[in-house]
Every structure is written in C-alpha cells, then in structure tokens.
C-alpha cells in the first residue's frame, strides 16, 4: 500500500509481492476523496485474504474477493479490489514478458488520441486556448466557460456581490451555482466557438450532472447544431433513465459514467443504446478485469470507450486506461492528464503525451513502476479531498 501526493491528488497504489524474488505488480486504488478508507480495506481485509494465493488466478481472486465482503459494489471496496486486480495483471505481464495490451490480443492502434481541457474566464480567452491546443496537434478539446456572476463546474468562476445580495437572509456563505445562467452561458459559448473557429475541431463539454433533467434535455437539443463530439453527464447516476427520453429527442452524442460503481447503472444504458460513450472510472468499478468485460459488452452495442482520466486517476490508472485503449476496437477517446514533474519522478515509465496522443512503452506488464523512496517524499497533506461546496441561491447543495 503506497499513499503519496506528488501533485494535487491523494493517490492510492497497491503493490502485490510474490514469492518469486523481485516479481511484484502495482495497481491503482485511488479514490481521492476517501483514500484512507480504501487503504484500510486493502490492509485489513484484502491483504489477509490474498496471502498464499496464486497470482495467476486473477479471475478467481477477483470473483472471490468481490463477494468476500458479502455487501458489494461500493466505491471503497471496488477501489481496493481494483488495486489488487491491476497488480495481478502487471505480474502476469511481467511473467509473460509482454505488455498487458499484448495479452488482450495486441494493439489495434499505434497511439491513443487524447482530448484536452480548455477552460477560461471569457469567450476570447477560451477561443485562444482552443486554437493553441489545435496548433499543438490536438483534434479534441473539452470546453468549459466561466458563468458571469456565478460559480460553475470546470472553469474558475466567481460569485458576484450582486448575486450574493440576491440570496435570502441567513443563508450559509458559499459559491452560488444556478442552472439557468449556466445553460444560457453554455449555449452562448458554443455559438461563439463554432462561429469563430468552425467545425474543424472536435468539441466536448461536461454538464457534470448539475442541472435538472428537463433543462439537460433543453441544453442537449440547443447544442445539437454545434455537433459536439460528446455531451458528458447531462444527468446524475440517480436519473439515468432520462437517457431513454433524451435519446428520442436529440442526435447529440452522449457520454456518461464516471460515478458508476455497479453494473445495474451502466448496463441499461448500453443495452438500450441510450449513450454513445462509456466514461467509467476504472478503479471505481473494481478495476481492469471488469473494465475489459464492459468494453467487450459495449463493442457489441456500438458504444465507444472514453475512460475517465483526470488527475484523480493515478499514473498507474492512466497506464491501465492506455493499455485498454490500445487493444479496444471500440475505443472512442481518452481524457488527458498532464503529469507534474514530481509525479513523473515518482512513477517512472508513466505514459508519454505528445502532439495530442498518448504513447505506451513496450515494457512487460503496465510498463510503469513506482519509486517508493521518492513517493515517501510526498506524504499526504490531510486525509483527502472533499467536494460539494457550491449551493443554489436559496442555500441548497449542488452536486459537485
């Protein structure tokens, strides 16, 4: 169990040792908001469960560990299991002398196309950022714009004094988010970007489950002429059946899933072809073994992969995303995360980014290691992140 914070995020890495000298594997168990809960699940419950088992029996270990807690499909235990599962695949690759993507049938692409993040305080700044990313070679850019006077997701956006004065007496002080200004501002953003830049770049946008479902339907329909690459998380996981309604009303490509922990959340969306991109956070569902099965299931239904990949996925998790991306015919796009210099020092062999693509090395296993001595120089600051500070005008909490 290695807990380290070389960048902004609390990372949780599981290391599984074998009886073979020098042979070990690493996996991602990162839940940035509750890392110590995952660490306890690994140390106190999974470690005693695993000692003495054959690391090549990955499927049996996954299935038996999954039910060993009786209650299952929670994000803490899924992350703990993901750490172990990733480490076992790493060991298997090292034993075979092959990168994991070769164990999956080999590459179907040379490198992995990335989408990068552009966010800005105003339209001109955002347009300039998109153009700068295009000049770097990016063909896919996620765009998020500050909402004048209000807080929002994905862009630095300050609550104005005027908005604060519009709140009721006695409301707790907080950033203020309101769905209507956000929706209007997002339509304005796409009108501007398509008007100025045209359609030569693929644009993406994340609603982040923040608006009431009927407003998400309005937004998706209004954005349809702007031909997004995808519109992400128009609904919360609690509201996924709205996808069946939205699907009948718009041809906008839809992405969903970074908060999913349970197959009953994603399976209806896939089997009904209600979404176009699966956005699962691989460690949150229980790791690579299950993600591979989901990818295969999605291929049968014409759903493409867009595995969740910001900074709250560890570099080991990014390597896992990369190997799966390389070997999946139904790959759609990969979210980019640029690693800090400190993070690269802690994780030698981390995937390389160049010109809008992600590259794997050809080392056995995931091709990434962790330098525990350097990791120890970056202990956790505090017990983990916390989300959900924005509130509506009336004081009610907004989803993060």
Q: Is 336 in the site for Mg ion (CB under 5 A)?
A: no
Gap between the Cα atoms of 267 and 366, Å rounded: 28
Span of 86-94, 121-129, 147-155, 203-211 interacting with Mg ion by CB under 5 A: 203-211
Minimum Å gap between C-beta 174 and Mg ion is 22
Q: How many CB atoms lie within 10 A of CB 330?
A: 18
Gap between the Cα atoms of 222 and 187, Å rounded: 7
Considering the complex, state which of residue 157 and residue 289 has its C-beta at the smaller distance from Mg ion.
Answer: 157
Q: Is 206 in the site for Mg ion (CB under 5 A)?
A: yes
Considering the complex, state which of residue 204 and residue 353 has its C-beta at the smaller distance from Mg ion.
Answer: 204
Considering the complex, state which of residue 85 and residue 325 has its C-beta at the smaller distance from Mg ion.
Answer: 325
Active site amino acids: 153, 208
Span of 68-76, 194-202, 206-214, 265-273 interacting with Mg ion by CB under 5 A: 206-214
- Buried b or exposed e, range 296-310, using 16+ CB within 10 angstroms: ebbeebebbbbbbbe
Contact between residue 337 and residue 360 where contact means Cβ atoms under 8 Å apart: no
Minimum Å gap between C-beta 367 and Mg ion is 26
The long-range contacts involving 64-72, CB below 8 angstroms and separated by at least 24 positions, are: 66/286, 69/45
Considering the complex, state which of residue 3 and residue 146 has its C-beta at the smaller distance from Mg ion.
Answer: 146
Minimum Å gap between C-beta 31 and Mg ion is 16
Query: Nearest residue by C-beta to Mg ion?
Result: 206
Minimum Å gap between C-beta 57 and Mg ion is 35
As a whole number of Å, the end-to-end CA separation of the chain is: 28
Q: How many of the chain's residues bind Mg ion (CB under 5 A)?
A: 2
Sign of CA dihedral 50, 56, 57, 59: positive
Contact between residue 75 and residue 35 where contact means Cβ atoms under 8 Å apart: no
Considering the complex, state which of residue 193 and residue 280 has its C-beta at the smaller distance from Mg ion.
Answer: 280
Gap between the Cα atoms of 62 and 292, Å rounded: 13
Task: Please tell me whether residue 339 adopts helix, strand or coil conformation.
Answer: coil
Considering the complex, state which of residue 90 and residue 258 has its C-beta at the smaller distance from Mg ion.
Answer: 258
Task: Give Cα 237 to chain centroid, integer Å.
Answer: 15
Q: Is 209 in the site for Mg ion (CB under 5 A)?
A: no
Gap between the Cα atoms of 384 and 398, Å rounded: 20
Q: Which of residues 238-297 bind Mg ion (CB under 5 A)?
A: 258
- In sequence order, the 6+-apart residues with CB closer than 8 A to the CB of 214 are none
Minimum Å gap between C-beta 390 and Mg ion is 16
Span of 10-18, 19-27, 95-103, 201-209 interacting with Mg ion by CB under 5 A: 201-209
CA-CA-CA-CA dihedral for 179, 338, 291, 14, to nearest 10 = -120
Minimum Å gap between C-beta 107 and Mg ion is 27
Name the residues that contact Mg ion, by CB under 5 A.
206, 258
């Amino acid at each position: 169990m290695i807990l380290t914070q070389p960048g902004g995020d609390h990372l949780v890495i599981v290391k599984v040792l074998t009886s073979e000298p020098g042979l070990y594997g690493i996996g991602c168990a990162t839940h940035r908001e509750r890392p110590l809960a995952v660490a306890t699940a690994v140390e106190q419950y999974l470690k005693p469960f695993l000692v003495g088992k054959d690391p090549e029996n990955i499927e049996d270990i996954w299935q038996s560990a999954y039910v060993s807690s009786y209650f299952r499909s929670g994000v803490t235990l899924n992350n703990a299991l993901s750490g172990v599962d990733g480490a076992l695949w790493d060991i298997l690759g090292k034993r075979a002398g092959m990168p994991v993507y070769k164990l999956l049938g080999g590459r179907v692409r040379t490198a992995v196309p990335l989408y990068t993040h552009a966010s800005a305080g105003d339209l001109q700044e955002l347009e300039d950022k998109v153009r700068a990313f295009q000049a770097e070679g990016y063909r896919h850019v996620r765009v998020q714009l500050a909402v004048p006077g209000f807080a929002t997701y994905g862009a630095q956006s300050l609550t104005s004094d005027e908005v604060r004065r519009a709140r009721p007496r006695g409301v707790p002080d907080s950033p203020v988010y309101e769905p209507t200004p956000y929706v209007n501002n997002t339509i304005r953003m796409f009108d501007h970007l398509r008007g100025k830049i045209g359609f030569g770049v693929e644009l993406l946008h994340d609603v982040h489950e923040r608006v009431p479902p009927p407003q998400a339907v309005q937004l998706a329909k209004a954005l349809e002429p702007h031909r997004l690459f995808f519109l992400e998380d128009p609904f919360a996981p609690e509201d996924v059946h709205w996808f069946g309604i939205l699907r009948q009303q718009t041809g906008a490509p839809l992405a969903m899933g970074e908060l999913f922990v349970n197959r009953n959340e994603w399976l209806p969306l896939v089997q009904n072809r209600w979404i176009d991109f699966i956005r699962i956070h691989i460690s949150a569902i229980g790791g690579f073994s299950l993600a591979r099965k989901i990818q295969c299931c999605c291929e049968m239904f014409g759903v493409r992969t867009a595995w969740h990949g910001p900074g709250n996925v560890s570099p080991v998790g990014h390597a896992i995303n990369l190997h799966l991306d390389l070997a999946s015919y139904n790959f759609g796009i990969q979210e980019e995360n640029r690693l800090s210099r400190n993070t690269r020092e802690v994780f030698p062999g981390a995937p390389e980014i160049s010109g809008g693509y992600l590259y794997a090395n050809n080392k056995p296993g995931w091709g990434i290691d962790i330098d525990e001595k350097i990791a120890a120089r970056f202990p956790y600051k505090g017990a983990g992140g916390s989300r959900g500070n924005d509130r509506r005008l009336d004081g009610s909490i907004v989803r993060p």
